[in-house]
A and B are shown apart, each in its own frame.
Chain A
C-alpha cells in the first residue's frame, strides 16, 4: 500500500498570506489527524477528521482550519500567516471508527512551511 502523501513538501510564504496544505491518507483509512511540529513546542495536535466531519480540535486559533473530502483526502488552511506559524505540518492517517477505538497513526513526510 502507498503511504501517506503530503503536498507541497516545502513552502515559503509572507506574513499575512494564506496557505493550503494537502494530505492523502493510506487507502482504506478514513481518519486524518493534523499536527504542527516546532523545536520549541514539539508535536502539537491541530484537528482530526473522520468521514468529512471534524471530531476533535486542538488549542490553535481560528486561523487554522481544515476539511476532509469524501475520498478521505484532507486539506488544512492557515489564513493571515504569522512568523510563528513556521513549522513542519504533519498529517497522520489511521483506520478510524465511528465509535471510539484507538488505532495506530501513520504519518506523512510533512510540509515544511516557512513564513518570512
Chain B
C-alpha cells in the first residue's frame, strides 16, 4: 500500500524551514527520501533504517518513528535549489528486495 505524504505542496521563501511527512500503514524496514526536479531523475537524499541507522546528505536531516511507521524530512534554511518534488519510498522488508513503494510526492517551491 502506498505511503501517504503530507503536505501535498508547500511554498517557502528562501531561508524558511519545512517539514515533509511520510506515513505508512505497514511495518517498515526502511524509508528512502528523494527529490526530483522537473524533467530530471530522482536524486537520493536520505535512507533511514529500522534500528536507527541512517545515511544521507550532510545538509538534510530526517527522522523515522518505527512505532508509528512515520518518517519526516526536515529542510532548514531553504535555498532556491531545494525546489522540486520530494518523494518518500518505503520498504516492507523480508522479501521486498529492491522494491520501493513511493508516496504521491510533495511539491516544494522556494521563492527568493
Contacts and interface: CB of A to CB of B under 8 A. Distances in A.
Interface of A: 4, 31-33, 35, 42-45, 48, 50, 55-56, 58, 90, 92, 94, 96, 100, 102-110
A103 B30 CA distance: 9
A58 B2 CA distance: 13
Contacts of B91: 102
Contacts of A105: 32, 44, 89, 98, 100
Contacts of B55: 104
B42 interface: yes
Nearest to B33: A104
Contacts of A33: 98-100
22 contacts: A32-B98, A33-B98, A35-B100, A42-B2, A42-B105, A43-B42, A48-B97, A50-B98, A55-B95, A56-B98, A58-B99, A90-B42, A96-B98, A100-B94, A100-B95, A102-B91, A105-B32, A105-B44, A105-B100, A107-B41, A107-B43, A110-B41
B22 to A, nearest CB: 13
Contacts of A32: 98
B25 interface: no
